[in-house]
Amino acid sequence: MMKRSILTGQRLVAVFLFGCVLFNYPVIALFNKTGELLDIPLLYLFLFGAWGLLIGLMAWVIEHRQE
Amino acid sequence: MLQSWVIASVSFAYLGVLFAIAYYGDKRADAGRSIIANPTIYALSLAVYCTTWTFYGSVGRAASTGIGFLPIYLGPTLMAGLWWFVMLKIIRISKANRITSIADFVSSRYGKSHLLGGLVTIIAVIGIVPYISLQLKAVSNSFTILLHYPDIVMPARAAAQPLLQDSALYIALILAAFTILFGTRHLDATERHEGMVAAIAFESLVKLLAFVAVGIFVTFFLYDGFDDIFDRAELVPRLKALMTVDDTGASYGSWWSLTFLSMLSIMFLPRQFQISVVENVNERHLARAIWLFPLYLLLINIFVLPIAVGGLLHFPDGSVDADTFVLTLPMAEQQEALALLVYIGGLSAGTGMVIVETIALSTMVCNDLVMPVLLRWKSLRLHEEQDLSWLLLSIRRWAIAAILLLGYIYFRAAGEAYALVGIGLISFAAVAQFAPSIVGGIYWKGGTRQGAIAGLVAGFAVWVYTLLLPSFAKSGWLSLSFISEGLFGIGLLKPQQLFGLSGLGEIPHSLFWSMLANIGCYVAVSLRRRPDVVETSQATLFVDAFRHTEGDQRSRFWRGSAQVQDLLPLIGRFLGPERARDAFLIYARRRGVASIDQLEANADLVHYAETLLAGAIGGASARVMVASVVKEEPLGIDEVMNILDEASQVRAYSRQVEQKSHELEEATAELRAANERLKELDRMKDDFMSTVTHELRTPLTSIRAFSEILLEDPKTNLENRRKFLAIIVKETERLTRLINQVLDMAKIESGNAEWHTADIDLREVIEESLAATSSLFADKRIGLEKRLAGDVPSVRADRDRLIQVMLNLLANAVKFCEEDRGRVTVRLFAEGGAARVDVEDNGAGIAEADQPTVFEKFRQVGDTMTAKPQGTGLGLPISRQIVEHFGGRLWVKSSLGKGATFSFTLPLDAGEARQEERRQND
């Protein structure tokens, strides 16, 4: 049985809440502009960047858990 | 050239590979060497979330709403962060209760209700069947498009195929065959299909590869990378608008509600529940899926926008449906192989969804819709059948065929109608209705059966009214005035502006009203009454799932009598007699019983049997069937409450036990430390023995040597005799002193020492000690300074003992001082309620590290073996014992080369406190 590490769970919930902030108004409104960074539309870059960041955080939390 | 036989044979070859994988997976599972017991395969199989609606549809959505297609995939990513708590709980509950479908889950939670199970099944079928149609349509469209290669012909404009030449029909039939083969191979109490899961994981890889291949082709070969595509899009206003979201509250609201909707879908779509919960081999696999599955979603979405923009740039006239860009772009560039790969990718996406969804739905239809009816149908005389497992399997097979046929019929009927095209999100909104009763059910014990039914019915009704019926109207099956003017022309009842709520998209609008109705009714109706017996016991099992281990709690809620001879045939009728016998044998062995006949039919066994049965026919039916062969005594609600109280007492007790064992561990550690200490003391004792014998031997040797001289040489002159005798006497005194100290120490240690306590004046004690040691000072010509305060009150102590302490300190001071230059200062003063005596010398001093050691028994600073010991090593320990006996303290302050100060204190209040005491007694 998977031992429920409460700390891991809390870290993941923190990532969840962080993601809720990133992918919601008003943060997306900050990037919702015509304009490009590195020749890539700002919102597209932000969404995929933030998405990748969240996945990275979750991967870090999961793979560094202590059971 | 892509001729129809090429496409058909590639399709069949691919399906053949799937069959092979599934067959191999099942064989390995039977051999006990699962190929899917791997977190990566689990995460891949979860990607059944991405259907043709993703594979083809995402580009279509991106072409019309731009980046607004993304929330559907951001939601699951966010939800994955909560899986650690929520999904793990659902998995554990489902495993403990052998829950095999989402309908079974809801029905079990609210007291194993047939009505609820049936309701969930009906909602799922109505919500999902059109979605299956969509897959058939997508696969058949891609086939048609590919068939016209190198021309690009939209299927919508192609002539409708007669029934028997319709590829969708054959696709449906082949999928039905596949699903029946691998979905209902045998009845399993856990309802798992390892071969099918292996095939699904493979399909997930294929569709990802195909989509990424197209993405790379369009982005880097058709155009010059991301920057080129986006630069070109910048020049076209319509395309430029795709890069942002409308900057209005409504579009942000829609963004968030789509995210929320997809968060619920990833949990409660029947196919997701099937893969993530029912097919889960090991709950540890969930951990990696938490980040691997979102990564999959990210990879399959990176190229969506570039492909959409590329397609719109490539086909500017709008003649090509954006939903087909993934396929038509390679075709337009004469990339036959790539087009074929895309087609296979789409086939993977479609078949994966259809297979899993159909298995999930057929389990629900069989266990929660058909079986309950059949079991109640007395005239069928099912209760007389010896083996019903064939019946279960054939119901499932027929259900699979019926669901796929239903999907096909809907596809034929709807065609290009909105009711099919827009079904993706509409389906999501339907399954979102399960969320309140499931999430509420695993975290809140107050939910009741009626509450769940009310919530589901209300939410579903609102969904039908605000989403399903309008989609029918847009398809021309209902009058459009239903949308524009409302039901019966009442403006407030406009289905997409209910009660005048406007400014929201249709999905956010429907989601708001249906969730309001659903949650509102669930909570309000649940709060009308206290949960009854069955609800309470099930609520405890679900809500406290992490606290219970399997079985301990469940059988507490049951009382009655049963016979093994009744239970075994009952289980045998549904699982087959062989499998039932095996299962009972396993149970018997676990209990340490040799044969089934010796089993005691207690509450545990009844629950074991019921759980076995639940795996096959669902919780509610299993309850009814088991109840039919055992005599149960119903428990009252008060009794259930008592049991729950007891359970909490048991938990408290187990916490106590845990604490006790913790204390025990601590005690063990202390004992170990004490043992170490004893060993150390033992070693010190040995050291001491060698020191003492060394000390004893030195004087003895000289005594003996001089005695022998005197004995053997009678002519020794008088002066020498006198000298030798003096040495003998001195050495004898030294021996006596040593032995006295050892005895003294032993007496103090054992508590047998005599203490003559009296009020004494410390000045007097010091003066006397100094007088006694004055010859020592004179011998080494060491200076002495006295600073004795006159106002120090008397202390309670033993005068002789204190003199012993003083003599010891003074002798030490002299011993370590150099001749001539040595200087010793003795101070006496009162300090903080105590008399303090300092003996300071300017001798060699004691290193910081050695300071604690000098007070240890049998220890001397310096090497006792080489240097001549400067004493017995008992003086300071004895002094400390004496001072501490009178409530004082003895310590040293020193640094190497700068002399040492030995100080001790004796409490002043001892005498006064006693006088105080006496006064109070008088």
pLDDT in tens, B259-291: 999 999 999 999 999 999 988 888 888 888 999
pLDDT of residue B550: 46
Most confident of B29-43, B55-69, B294-308: B294-308
Query: Cβ separation of B77 and A48 shorter than 8 Å?
Result: no
For residues B880 and B318, the model is more confident at: B880
- Best interface-test mutation with A: which of B286, B291, B293 has the largest number of A CBs within 10 A? B291
Q: Is B650 left (phi over 0), alpha (psi -120 to 50) or beta?
A: alpha
Query: Cβ separation of B294 and A52 shorter than 8 Å?
Result: no
> How many CA atoms does the CB half-sphere of B524 hold within 13 Å?
10
Residues on chain B touching A23 (C-beta within 8 angstroms): 71, 74, 78, 259
pLDDT value at B867 more than 50: no
3-state secondary structure of B794: coil
Q: Which of A25, A38, A42 sits opposite B252 (nearest CB)?
A: A25
Q: By the CB < 8 Å criterion, does B247 face chain A?
A: yes
pLDDT of residue B647: 62
pLDDT value at A6 more than 90: no
Alpha carbon B19 to its chain's center = 36
- Which two structure tokens, joined as six digits, stand for B77? 């990513």
- Which two structure tokens, joined as six digits, stand for B786? 């006295």
The number of residues in chain B equals: 922
Work out the average pLDDT over A12-21: 91
> What Rg do the C-alpha atoms of chain B give, in angstroms?
46
Q: What residues form DSSP beta bridges with B891? A: B903
pLDDT value at B503 more than 60: yes
pLDDT of residue B603: 77
State what percent of residues in chain B have pLDDT above 90. 17
Output the CA–CA distances (angstroms, integers) from residue A14 to A11, A54, B364, B829, in the order listed: 5, 11, 36, 65
CB count in 10 Å sphere of residue B485: 14
CA torsion sign for B587, B593, B599, B602 is negative
Asked which of B290-299, B321-330, B650-659 is least confident by mean pLDDT, the reply is B650-659
pLDDT of residue B153: 74
pLDDT of residue B863: 43
pLDDT of residue B651: 67
Work out the average pLDDT over B41-67: 88
Nearest-CA residue of chain A relative to B250? A25
Pairing of strands B560-561, B631-632: antiparallel
> How many CA atoms does the CB half-sphere of B891 hold within 13 Å?
8
pLDDT value at B215 more than 90: yes
Residue B437 near residue B427 (C-beta atoms within 8 A): no
Q: How far is B54 from chain A (nearest CA, A)?
A: 17
Residue B261 near residue B78 (C-beta atoms within 8 A): no
Q: How far is B94 from chain A (nearest CA, A)?
A: 14
- Best interface-test mutation with B: which of A51, A53, A60, A61 has the largest number of B CBs within 10 A? A51
d(CA B832, CA B792): 12
Q: pLDDT class for B458, splitting at 50, 70, 90?
A: very high
Question: ipTM, 2 decimals?
Answer: 0.94
Q: Which of A1, A15, A40 sits opposite B226 (nearest CB)?
A: A40
Residue B890 near residue B880 (C-beta atoms within 8 A): yes
Could you tell me which residues come within 8 angstroms of residue B852 by beta carbon, excluding any fewer than 6 positions away?
none
Residue B464 near residue B518 (C-beta atoms within 8 A): no
Interior angle at CA B79, CA B76 and CA B83, nearest 5: 125
pLDDT value at B553 more than 70: no
pLDDT of residue B157: 52
Query: Cβ separation of A19 and B81 shorter than 8 Å?
Result: yes
Work out the average pLDDT over B304-330: 86
Q: Is the pTM of this model over 0.80?
A: no
- Best interface-test mutation with A: which of B73, B78, B84 has the largest number of A CBs within 10 A? B84
> What Rg do the C-alpha atoms of chain A give, in angstroms?
15
Q: Which of A29, A38, A48 sits opposite B252 (nearest CB)?
A: A29
Work out the average pLDDT over A15-19: 92
CB count in 10 Å sphere of residue B35: 18
pLDDT of residue B855: 79
pLDDT of residue B383: 62
Taking only the tens place, the pLDDT of each residue in A22-66 is 888 888 888 877 777 777 888 888 899 999 999 999 999 988 876
Q: How far is B651 from chain A (nearest CA, A)?
A: 18
CA torsion sign for B323, B324, B326, B332 is negative
Work out the average pLDDT over B155-161: 59
Q: pLDDT class for B500, splitting at 50, 70, 90?
A: confident
Query: Cβ separation of B77 and A54 shorter than 8 Å?
Result: yes
3-state secondary structure of B889: strand
A 5-34: CB under 8 A from B: 8-9, 12-13, 15-16, 19-20, 23-25, 28-29, 32-34
Domains and CATH numbers, chain B: 4-375+387-526 (1.20.1730.10), 549-635 (no CATH), 639-747 (1.10.287.130), 754-921 (3.30.565.10)
d(CA B89, CA B861): 66
What values do phi and psi take at B525, rounded to 5?
Answer: -70, -35
Query: Cβ separation of A25 and B70 shorter than 8 Å?
Result: no
Nearest-CA residue of chain B relative to A27? B252
Q: Which of A1, A9, A62 sits opposite B288 (nearest CB)?
A: A62
Asked which of B76-90, B315-329, B343-357, B424-438 is least confident by mean pLDDT, the reply is B315-329
Q: By the CB < 8 Å criterion, does B250 face chain A?
A: no
Query: Cβ separation of B230 and A39 shorter than 8 Å?
Result: yes
Pairing of strands B823-831, B783-788: parallel
3-state secondary structure of B150: coil
Work out the average pLDDT over B330-355: 89
Most confident of A8-12, B314-318, B518-522, B781-785: B518-522
Q: By the CB < 8 Å criterion, does B74 face chain A?
A: yes
Query: Cβ separation of B294 and A51 shorter than 8 Å?
Result: yes
- Which two structure tokens, joined as six digits, stand for B52? 């043709």
pLDDT of residue B648: 63
pLDDT of residue B385: 66
Query: In chain A, how many H helices and how many E strands?
Result: 3, 2
Query: Cβ separation of B243 and A8 shorter than 8 Å?
Result: no
Query: Cβ separation of A16 and B70 shorter than 8 Å?
Result: no
Taking only the tens place, the pLDDT of each residue in B391-432 is 888 888 899 999 999 988 888 887 776 656 678 888 899 999
CA dihedral B247, B253, B256, B261 (to 10 degrees): -140
Q: By the CB < 8 Å criterion, does A47 face chain B?
A: yes
Task: Verify cis geometry, omega within 30 degrees of 0, for the bond prior to A41.
Answer: no
Residue B900 near residue B893 (C-beta atoms within 8 A): yes
pLDDT of residue B455: 93
3-state secondary structure of B892: strand
Query: Cβ separation of B252 and A36 shorter than 8 Å?
Result: no
Q: By the CB < 8 Å criterion, does A66 face chain B?
A: no
Nearest partner of B561 among B593, B596, B603, B599, judged by Cα = B603
Q: By the CB < 8 Å criterion, does A49 face chain B?
A: no
pLDDT value at B440 more than 50: yes
Q: How far is B204 from chain A (nearest CA, A)?
A: 19
Query: Cβ separation of A41 and B243 shorter than 8 Å?
Result: yes
Work out the average pLDDT over B559-582: 78
pLDDT of residue B293: 93
d(CA B478, CA B623): 43
Q: How far is B244 from chain A (nearest CA, A)?
A: 5
Residue B831 near residue B905 (C-beta atoms within 8 A): yes
Could you tell me which residues come within 8 angstroms of residue B245 by beta carbon, excluding any fewer than 6 positions away?
A28, A32, A43, B66, B67, B68, B251, B252, B255
pLDDT of residue B692: 74
Cβ contacts below 8 Å, chain A against chain B, sum to: 109
Q: How far is B282 from chain A (nearest CA, A)?
A: 8
Side chain identity at A45, as an amino acid letter? L
pLDDT of residue B868: 45
Q: By the CB < 8 Å criterion, does A52 face chain B?
A: yes
Work out the average pLDDT over B164-186: 79
pLDDT value at B294 more than 90: yes
pLDDT value at B866 more than 60: no
- Which two structure tokens, joined as six digits, stand for B207? 């569709």
Query: Cβ separation of A9 and B84 shorter than 8 Å?
Result: yes
Q: What is the mean pLDDT of chain B?
A: 82
d(CA B436, CA B523): 9
Q: By the CB < 8 Å criterion, does B16 face chain A?
A: no
d(CA B575, CA B611): 12
Q: By the CB < 8 Å criterion, does A45 face chain B?
A: no
pLDDT value at B645 more than 60: yes
Taking only the tens place, the pLDDT of each residue in B55-113 is 988 888 888 888 888 888 999 999 999 998 899 889 988 888 888 889 989 998 888 88
Residue written as token pair 């040797």:
B701
Q: pLDDT class for B384, splitting at 50, 70, 90?
A: low
Q: What residues form DSSP beta bridges with B824? A: B784, B841
CA torsion sign for B823, B829, B833, B835 is positive
Asked which of B492-506, B740-754, B856-870 is least confident by mean pLDDT, the reply is B856-870
pLDDT value at B494 more than 50: yes
The number of residues in chain A equals: 67
Task: Verify cis geometry, omega within 30 degrees of 0, for the bond prior to B150.
Answer: yes
3-state secondary structure of B649: helix
Q: By the CB < 8 Å criterion, does A53 face chain B?
A: no
pLDDT value at B736 more than 70: yes
Residue B209 near residue B47 (C-beta atoms within 8 A): no
Q: How far is A61 from chain B (nearest CA, A)?
A: 9
Query: Cβ separation of A32 and B244 shorter than 8 Å?
Result: yes
Pairing of strands B834-841, B900-907: antiparallel
Query: Cβ separation of A62 and B290 shorter than 8 Å?
Result: yes
Q: pLDDT class for B439, splitting at 50, 70, 90?
A: very high
Asked which of B236-240, B446-450, B456-460, B803-807 is least confident by mean pLDDT, the reply is B236-240
pLDDT of residue B518: 93
- Which two structure tokens, joined as six digits, stand for B782? 């060491």
Q: How far is A64 from chain B (nearest CA, A)?
A: 11
